[in-house]
Amino acid sequence: MSGRGNRSPLIRGGVADVKQAARGFRWGRRSQVPRSAEPFVPEATSTVFRSDWSRRKPAIVAREAVQKAGLEPLFRSQVRTSVRGLDVFDGLKGPVIFAANHASHLDTPLVLLSLPDAWRRRTAVAAAADYFFDTWWRAVGSSVLFNTFPIDRRGGAMAQTPGEVLDEGWSLLIFPEGTRSPDGWMHNFRMGAAMLAHTHGVPVVPIAHQGTFAAMPRGRNWPAPGRRLLTIRFGAPISPRRDETVREFAARVKDAIAALLDEETSTWWESQRRVASGSTPDPEGPQVAQWRRLWDQTEPLADEPEDRVFAWSRRK
């Protein structure tokens, strides 16, 4: 009782003010516009939070600590990974654009933690501004943890464009589908990644992975129990040709990822032959009943026999 009464007005009033502001300004939630004020509020052109700070030295140091000491052990405790194709980094110079299929929130940590450390430290992740950057805490959290920067799925102006990030020497991880797959199969690619590679003249490293949808699909916020296996395969970098349009190049990126997915279930040689004959299985999956599409994708990946040895593989 007396302790409460004796607190200085500085603190007492401060607590009241903060409570009022937290409630009134909806801290931690989306801010709202009073209904009657809506006609007078311009369409949000840039309601996203800046993220350039997350590519400065202090944030890089913090991220390294968080990823190595927190994210990685946690990630490995929940899933197993099988990484293939790391040989593509031999002689490769950054920056590059990593283009991967997208099925789960596990994709980002999977890709980042599969990258060689030197590459991981110089890779930024494109994240939907409207999802990851609309509250300060989500923006800060994802920026620190994954080095995300905002891109607009609806095509608005950003505080800092992906091109600028690229120009600063950062490799980008982009999921060209723009959103997580609802059924684990690949969906239409947007032009963004191809466009960036095209205009900035950087190569695209295709990445195919499987198992994240089965482990943690949309709607789940923690991987399914049982340390499921996730596979990831890096493909050879591809650069836009001089006479190639963005659209053509985008198709080529998609095909490369489809081939990598094919390779996952067969062998490199078989997949190459199917590429040559144009019979790579459609990464978008068979046009069958939705339950069958899901059924296929949720089947746990079978462990490869322990005695098979692959070049450039890493399993943990």
Closest approach, Cβ 42 to another protein, in A, equals 7
Q: From residue 172, how far is each of 113, 217, 285 by CA, in Å?
A: 14, 23, 27
Long-range contacts, stretch 247-252, CB < 8 angstroms, 24+ apart = 247/191, 247/194, 249/194, 249/197, 249/198, 250/176, 250/189, 250/191, 250/193, 250/194, 250/195, 251/189
Closest CA to 229 of 179, 264, 255, 263: 264
By CB under 8 A, residue 20 contacts another protein: yes
Closest approach, Cβ 150 to another protein, in A, equals 16
By CB under 8 A, residue 29 contacts another protein: no
CB 50 within 8 A of CB 159: yes
User: Which x/- pattern over 112-151 shows residues binding another protein (rule: CB under 8 A)?
Assistant: ------------------------x---------------
Cβ proximity to another protein: between 50 and 252 the closer is 50
By CB under 8 A, residue 10 contacts another protein: yes
Write out the DSSP string of 131-190. HHSSSHHHHHHHHHHH-EEEE-TT----SS-HHHHHHTT-EEEE-TTSS--SSSS--PPP
By CB under 8 A, residue 24 contacts another protein: yes
By CB under 8 A, residue 31 contacts another protein: yes
Pick left, alpha or beta for residue 85 (phi over 0 → left; psi -120 to 50 → alpha; otherwise beta).
left
By CB under 8 A, residue 65 contacts another protein: no
Give Cα 313 to chain centroid, integer Å. Answer: 22
By CB under 8 A, residue 21 contacts another protein: yes
- Sequence-distant (6+) residues with CB within 8 A of 196 are 97, 162, 163, 166, 172, 174, 202
Closest approach, Cβ 50 to another protein, in A, equals 11
Among 26, 227, 241, 316, binds another protein (CB under 8 A): 26
By CB under 8 A, residue 37 contacts another protein: yes
User: Which x/- pattern over 246-285 shows residues binding another protein (rule: CB under 8 A)?
Assistant: ----------------------------------------
By CB under 8 A, residue 36 contacts another protein: yes
Among 1, 2, 29, 32, binds another protein (CB under 8 A): 32
Closest approach, Cβ 178 to another protein, in A, equals 28
- Sequence-distant (6+) residues with CB within 8 A of 145 are 63, 66, 67, 71
Distance (Å, rounded) from C-alpha 30 to C-alpha 6?
A: 36
Where does this chain touch another protein (CB under 8 A) — which range of 34-42, 62-70, 85-93, 154-162?
34-42
Closest approach, Cβ 213 to another protein, in A, equals 36
Question: Running DSSP on this structure, what letter comes out for residue 53?
Answer: G
Cβ proximity to another protein: between 17 and 117 the closer is 17
Closest approach, Cβ 139 to another protein, in A, equals 11
Q: Which residues bind another protein (CB under 8 A)?
A: 8-10, 13-14, 17-18, 20-21, 24-26, 31-37, 39-42, 136
